[in-house]
Chains A and B, each alone.
Chain A
Amino acid sequence: AQRVTQPEKLLSVFKGAPVELKCNYSYSGSPELFWYVQYSRQRLQLLLRHISRESIKGFTADLNKGETSFHLKKPFAQEEDSAMYYCALQTGGFKTIFGAGTRLFVKA
């Protein structure tokens, strides 16, 4: 079965603290994984994709096929990082399956 699991609905950290948003997936094929972000009152937008292996706004995510994980990390959280984060899996048929989302709240 194709599934994306984000175990934390809410993650609250202090400004400057490290943050890790967890994502695990289930897919029999070769996965293409993404992180999307939705800031307050804004539309969903792509944050990063695993094939790019880049850092966006200080965030990185590494695909671990052994653990079927694609956790999103940032060493020092900023208040402007507060948003809803969705992990997503794109299947071979180009459908995108979203996780339930994690709301990140960065406290001053």
Chain B
Amino acid sequence: GAVVSQHPSWVICKSGTSVKIECRSLDFQATTMFWYRQFPKQSLMLMATSNEGSKATYEQGVEKDKFLINHASLTLSTLTVTSAHPEDSSFYICSARTRTGNSYEQYFGPGTRLTVT
């Protein structure tokens, strides 16, 4: 089956620094990738939709200047948390969409746990 990887799996950074998270589709091309945020014991909240070669579409309430998304190729999307603060600490999950027959299927990465101190 299709595999999505994320790197790093966890990261600790100091307040004010920036952190980049990579999301890769390993054995398929993904024109669209999604970035989610998950707080402890809560559901996944869609942050943005990332389309290859174009600007990401952000959900309401998500600061695009704080969460920079770059979808440079059909297999790679990156999320950069700029000037991180402790409230940005969370579990970030990406997913990649691929077409299967007449429908689309999403495959999820394992997630990246970000802790801002």
Q: Mark B77-117, 1 if CB is under 8 A from A, else 0.
A: 00000000000000001010100000111101111000000
B42 close to A (CB within 8 Å): yes
B54 close to A (CB within 8 Å): no
A100 close to B (CB within 8 Å): yes
B55 nearest CB across to chain A (Å): 15
Residue of A nearest to B36 (CB): A98
B26 close to A (CB within 8 Å): no
- Tell whether, in the assembled complex, residue A96 and residue B106 are in contact, meaning their CB atoms are under 8 Å apart: yes
Residue of B nearest to A42 (CB): B110
In the complex, identify which listed stretch (B11-19, B43-51, B63-71) lies at the interface while the others stay far away.
B43-51
B87 nearest CB across to chain A (Å): 21
Chain A contact residues, CB within 8 Å of chain B: 32, 43-46, 49, 51, 86, 90, 94-101
Q: A43-B111, A44-B93, A101-B43 are in contact. List 8 more A-B contacts (CB 8 A).
A: A32-B103, A43-B109, A43-B110, A45-B108, A86-B44, A94-B97, A95-B49, A99-B43
